[in-house]
Amino acid sequence: MINRIDVYPTHRHGDTWLRAGRPYPFGATIVPGGVNFAVFSRHATSCTLVLFRRGERQPLIEIPFLEAFRIGNVWAMVVFGLEIEEIEYGYRMDGPHRPHAGHRFDPNVVLLDPYARAITGRTRWAEPHEAGDPAPFRGRIMLDDFDWQDDRQLEIPAEDLIIYEMHVRGFTRHPSSGVKFPGTYAAIREKIPYLLELGVNAVELMPIQEFDELESDFHNPYTGQKLRNFWGYSTVGFFAPKAGYAATGALGMEADELKALVKLLHRHGIEIILDVVFNHTAEGSEKGPTISFRGLDNRTYYMLRPDGSYQNFSGTGNTLNCNNPVVRNLVLDALRYWVSEYHIDGFRFDLASILGRDAEGHPLANPPLLELLAHDPVLGKTKLIAEAWDAGGLYQVGSFPAYGRWAEWNGRYRDTLRRFLKGDMDQAGEMGQALKGSPHMYLERGPTASINFVTCHDGFTLNDLVSYAEKHNLANGEQ
């Protein structure tokens, strides 16, 4: 018998054995004998891998990447002999700190890997970070060993979809839900009979990519209580499921719990659509925290003004530079991952018009990212739904660049229906158009380009829709 050695160490750092890694795929990938770490930065001058033992505050070891481990603009290294399920990791990036030129490197900050498949720090809902933790968000190495059996995307025709928008926590948090683990992926499983009774065949989950519910600076004006980011439209990591939504999150089993939910929904003929937020990140404006992208390569990942400050077409302080080729690949890699590893049936893109802007924020006639997603082979049967506007005033309902694939949230259908139900004058003609699939807007693309919705998380609740003349949510502290 011949013992074959495919990968062997060539370098050493203390007691840890290393070798030059592969620059792709990005992130932390299990290879024979170790883990391949690959991270992009065009403008950094050096990179250090920071390894933690799970749950410990201080690093286990910090390993600088050798220049020989850099290929182009990617730092890649294999670390041997790691206890994969006991390791957490991050990076330190050194480079120029010249905000006016768009560079915000700080080697004192341990940065989260944008490609981390699992993230620690928010494993229990609203549990505070430990004070003084040098790396409140860390990557974990994911074992993709879930048994899907014969599960696959359902591919329900668009014209047959009855979509129920759902907040994972809010859907079962109240005691009246009667579930074993309120506010979790697991709890939704118990409510499948209820969804079937309603006639629902697709659930659209509000953001489940990891976010920080404690980031909000707003207070309830009536009670003074500090508010939380309940909705989650402020992504920390695009590849990692929200651990605080899992009954098993503290055990690191959030991925399996979510996959079990998807598998059971599919078994009952219900598709799962994810609301994804690629227009901005949780790092906010210049005053926001440095978590990941800002410290890795600020100029690449964000739209910047000439003075280095952030463009803000999202209304949240920053805008992701979506049509930079590196960022385009990040979005594509993330969506492919959710489809291939989680069997997701579709995506609703928050403020999708931003995805069609160039680095200066100008709308593109032929946006590369939107075309890329429309024609990607892995996403070939995946539903792509645009919220066809943004906070910068770009409104594209009826004219979103579709490439024969994109559907749109039809906000005009919602507004027409509300006016008609209220009894406003001269609405019969508009309502007739809406009921026919809005042919005045989608004549060439057909009625399935229109996602007709009555209410959603923005605006009126279904009860308020027929009860109030104008919005009256003052308790969120945002006026």
Strand partners, 434: none
323-349 pLDDT tens trace: 999 999 999 999 999 999 999 999 999
H helix or E strand, kind and range, residue 29: strand 27-31
The model's pTM is 0.96
Any idea how long the chain is? Answer: 479
Res. 5: pLDDT tops 80: no
pLDDT value of residue 462:
86
Res. 118: pLDDT tops 90: yes
Mean pLDDT of the chain: 95
Query: Where residue 4 falls among pLDDT bands split at 50, 70, 90?
Result: low
Dihedrals phi, psi of 300, to nearest 5 degrees: -80, -45
> What whole-number distance in Å separates Cα of residue 296 and Cα of residue 158?
39
- List the structure tokens of 236: 């920390």
Q: What is the DSSP string of 108-138?
A: TSPBPPTT-SEEES-SSTTPPPPTT-S-SSE
> Judging by DSSP bridges, how do beta strands 450-452 and 406-410 pair with one another?
parallel
454-465 pLDDT tens trace: 999 988 888 888
270-280 pLDDT tens trace: 999 999 999 99
370-411 pLDDT tens trace: 999 999 999 999 999 999 999 999 999 999 999 999 999 999
Res. 440: pLDDT tops 90: yes
Of residues 470 and 363, the one with the higher pLDDT is: 363
Strand partners, 348: 275, 385
Strand partners, 467: none
Active site positions, annotated: 350, 387
Closest CA to 344 of 239, 246, 426: 239
Write down the residue that tokens 């994969």 correspond to: 84
Average pLDDT over residues 88-117: 98
Query: Where residue 467 falls among pLDDT bands split at 50, 70, 90?
Result: confident
39-79 pLDDT tens trace: 999 999 999 999 999 999 999 999 999 999 999 999 999 99
Percentage of the chain modeled with pLDDT above 90: 91
Average pLDDT over residues 15-23: 97
Average pLDDT over residues 124-140: 91
> What whole-number distance in Å separates Cα of residue 291 and Cα of residue 163?
34
- List the structure tokens of 408: 């749109």
pLDDT value of residue 472:
78
CB of 319 closer than 8 Å to CB of 354: yes
Query: Where residue 477 falls among pLDDT bands split at 50, 70, 90?
Result: confident
pLDDT value of residue 7:
75
Average pLDDT over residues 202-208: 98
Closest CA to 242 of 289, 215, 273, 206: 206
410-438 pLDDT tens trace: 999 999 999 999 899 999 999 999 999 99
Q: What is the DSSP string of 308-377?
A: SPBP-SSSSS--B-TTSHHHHHHHHHHHHHHHHHH---EEEETTGGGGGB-TTSPBPSS-HHHHHHHH-S
* Residue partners of 60: CB distance under 8 A and separation at least 6: 51, 52, 53, 87
Res. 473: pLDDT tops 90: no
Between the two ends of the chain, the Cα-to-Cα distance in Å is: 74
Average pLDDT over residues 256-280: 98
Using DSSP, state whether 428 is helix, strand or coil. Answer: helix
pLDDT value of residue 476:
82
Average pLDDT over residues 235-256: 98
135-167 pLDDT tens trace: 999 999 999 899 999 999 999 999 999 999 999
162-198 pLDDT tens trace: 999 999 999 999 999 999 999 999 999 999 999 999 9
